[in-house]
Amino acid sequence: MLQYQLPEILRTPLQELCLQIKSLQLGTAGSFLAKALQPPDSLAVQNAIELLKTIGALDDREELTPLGRHLCTLPLDPNIGKMLLMGSIFQCLNPALTIAAALAHRDPFVMPIERKEEADAAKRSFAGDSCSDHIALLKAFEGWKEAKRNGNDRAFCWENFLSPVTLQMMEDMRMQFLDLLAGIGFVDKSRGPAAYNQYGQDLEMVCAILCAGMYPNVVQCKRRGKRSAFYTKEVGKVDIHPASVNAAVHLFPLPYMVYSEKVKTTSIFIRDSTNISDYALLLFGGNLIPSKTSEGIEMLDGYLHFSASKSVLDLIRKLRGELDKLLNRKIEEPGFDISREGKGVVTAAVELLHSHNIRY
C-alpha cells in the first residue's frame, strides 16, 4: 500500500473543479491545473472538459454557458445539479431532490452480509417492476416519510434494511437543495410545492429527468438469448453491480439504461442504473445528429443510432427543437413560466414518453 494517500485532486472527478476554475475566470482549466504541486493527468482534465461540453455547461470555446453558470452555484457534481434544474423546470421536483440527495450523499439501503438475500428482496420490493435503483430509493424515502408521520419510522427502517441516519441526512440535504434552487430563481417558495410537482408521480417523467441528468452515462441493453448484455461507448461490455435491483433482471423491457457511475473490481460494473426508453434519450439526451450512413438520428458520435420513418424522425426533431428553445429561455430567464408558455410542448413530450406502452 502507498505510504500516504494520493492527493484528492488525483483521485476524484474533476468536472466540478473545472467549472469553478471557469467561473473564477482563471483561464483554461488545463493550464491552471498544470500549476498544481501534483497536477492531475492531462487526459483526465480533457475528459472532464469534454463531459462539461457534452452536458451543455461549457461551449466549444471552453467558456461557461448559461447552464454552466447555474451549475457553478450548486455544490454538486454537474450531472446531479443538471438533474435538479430539470426536475424543477419540468415540475418533477420532489423526486429530483430525493434522488439528488441520495447520489450526493449515500445510498440509504444497508446490506448486512448475514441477511443479504432479505435486504436485496426489500430493495427490489421498492423498485417494483421499474427496473430502477433510483425509483427504489425514491419509493423507500417516500415510505419512510409516511412512516415518520405515523410515528413508526424506526420499525419501517428495521424491516426494510434502511439507515435512519442516512434518510434524515437526505431530508436535510433536500431542504438545502431547495434553498439553492430558490436562490438562483428556479423555485418560488411562495407558490408552494404543488406548483413544481405536477409530474412528481409520473415515473416515465422521473426516468426522463434522470436521463437528462445522467447523460452521457448510457448503456445499450442488447438481447443475447434469454438474457440481456450491456455495452457502453467507452469500454464495451459491462455488468450490472450485484447490489443493484437490476442484477436479478434477465431481460429488460426498454432498450437503454442510464447509470450513476462505473466501478472496476473483478469486472467493470455499473452502479445505480435505470432502464429508460429511446424516447427519453431522444427528448432529454444529447444533441441529435443526422446519420451519415443511413436514415436516422445519432448521438454520442454515432454510438447511439435511432431509426424510424421520415415522418416520425421529423416530428421528433421538431419537438426536440421546441423543447430546447423552451429550456434555453428558462435557463437564461429562471422566472420564465414554462408550464404556461410551453404547456403544449411539454404535454406533447409527456405523451411521447408514455407512448412505448410500458407501465410501472
In angstroms, the CA 168 to CA 171 distance is 5
* Predicted pLDDT of residue 302: 87
* Predicted pLDDT of residue 356: 58
pTM above 0.75, yes or no: yes
Judge contact between 169 and 175, C-beta under 8 A: no
* Predicted pLDDT of residue 357: 42
**Average pLDDT per 10 consecutive residues for the chain, totaling 360 residues:** 84 90 93 92 93 95 95 93 95 96 93 91 95 97 97 96 97 96 93 89 95 96 92 93 93 95 91 95 92 85 89 92 93 88 88 63
Domain boundaries, the chain: 8-73, 79-203
